[in-house]
Amino acid sequence: MRKSRVQRMVLATCLGSFLLVIFYFQSSLNPAAEDRILGTSWHGKSGRSPLQALYDSDQFEQSSLQATHQQRRDLLSRVCGRYTRKRRLLTPDDLRHLVVDDVHGLLYCYVPKVACTNWKRVMMVLTGQGKYRDPLEIPANEAHVSSNLRTLSEYSTPEINHRLRNYLKFIFVREPFERLVSAYRNKFTRRYNTAFHKRYGTKIIRRHRQEPSNEALERGDDVRFEEFVYYLLDPRTQHEEPFNEHWERVHSLCHPCIIHYDVVGKYETLAEDANYVLQLVGADASVKFPSSSKTTRTTDDMTAQFFEDISPFYQRKLFNLYKMDYLLFNYSIPSYLHLR
C-alpha cells in the first residue's frame, strides 16, 4: 500500500513539473537566444514579426483602430484580474485550438461559428509556401482537415514557450448567444449533419423530451432549441464530457486569462479586424480575408426569436453559463432577455 502511494506521488510530481514548465518557461527564456536556437526568421514585408509590428506602432500616436484594440486588451486584463483569483497551469490539451504559423509568427485560437473556416483558409494560404493563393479556392471541408494546419499542442515544451512569448496571438469572438444560436441552427436544423444528430440529438431527445417518438429517438434530427438549452444546463452534460467546441465558452476554448492575446477581433467588425491582422503580418496584398455570407448568418433579431420560448428562469441560468464571455469581450446583456 505504501509503495503504491509513493509511486502515485512520484507520478504526480513529474506531471506537475511538466505543467509548470509550460507555464513558467514563458518568462525565463532569452528571446534572442531562442531565435538563434530555433532559427526564427520572419517573412512579412518589413522583416519584423507581427508582434514587433503591433507594439512598435503603439509607441507612436495611435489610430482609432489601434486604440480600439488597446481598449480590448485592457478590458480583458481588468476582467481577468477581477474574476480569476488563481491562474491555473496550461496543459497541452489547452493548446489544441491554437493554430501555428511559423512563417509569419502567428498563433490563432480558432472559435467555431466565428468565421473560423475562413480564418483557417487564410492560415493555409499564409503557411502553404505558395501551394494556395486564394483562400476561397480551398474547400470548406479541407480547411478543417487537422493535418493541414499545426496546432501548438504538437510542439515540445521549449518550442511552445518560444511561440507564446514571441508570436502574435489573436482570437476572434462573437456575441455569445448569437454564436450559440448559430451553432444550434447549423448542427441541429441542417439535414446533412447526421453525425451531430446521432451523437448529440438522440441523447438530447431521450433526456429532455416527454414521450418522444421512436423515430425521433432513432434519428435525433428534430431537436428543439429549448431542448438544446436544457441539455446545456443539465449537470450531467459536463459531468460526462466537455462541451462540444461549437457551443463551448470562448474562455474555455482559448484561455484568455492565461494566454495574453495581442489582438481580439470581433465578428461584428470582422472585415476591419481581419484586415488589421493581415497588415500586422505583412501579408501579400493578394491575400484577402473572404467576405462573409449575409444571407444565411444568424443575426441578433433571429437570436431573439429563438429565446422567445425560453422562460426567464432558464434565460438567467443560460446567461450565467456564458457570463464570462460577455464580461471578457464587452458584450451587453441582450435586450430580449428577461433576467429580472
- Interatomic CA distance for residues 14 and 50, integer angstroms: 35
Beta strands, E only, the chain: 98-101, 106-109, 168-173, 263-266
Q: Please state the rounded mean pLDDT for residues 51-79.
A: 86
First to last CA, the chain: 55
- Full-model pTM: 0.86
Q: Please state the rounded mean pLDDT for residues 290-314.
A: 89
Grid coordinates representing 249 are 465558452
Residues 164/156, Cβ–Cβ less than 8 Å: no
Segment 123-172, tens digit of pLDDT: 999 998 778 889 999 999 999 999 999 999 999 999 999 999 999 999 99
Residue 211 exposed, middle or buried by CB count within 10 Å (0-12, 13-18, 19+): exposed
Question: According to the model, what pLDDT value does residue 84 have?
Answer: 85
Question: According to the model, what pLDDT value does residue 17 have?
Answer: 37
Grid coordinates representing 163 are 511561440
Residues 257/251, Cβ–Cβ less than 8 Å: yes
Q: DSSP code of 146?
A: G
* 16 has pLDDT over 50: no
Q: Please state the rounded mean pLDDT for residues 292-304.
A: 84
Helix (H) or strand (E) holding 157: helix 157-166
DSSP strand pairing (98-101 vs 106-109): antiparallel
Domain boundaries, the chain: 50-175+249-296, 178-246+298-329
Question: According to the model, what pLDDT value does residue 18 have?
Answer: 42
Sheet order of strands, 106-109 included = 98-101, 106-109, 168-173, 263-266
Weakest mean pLDDT among 47-56, 75-84, 108-117, 250-259: 47-56
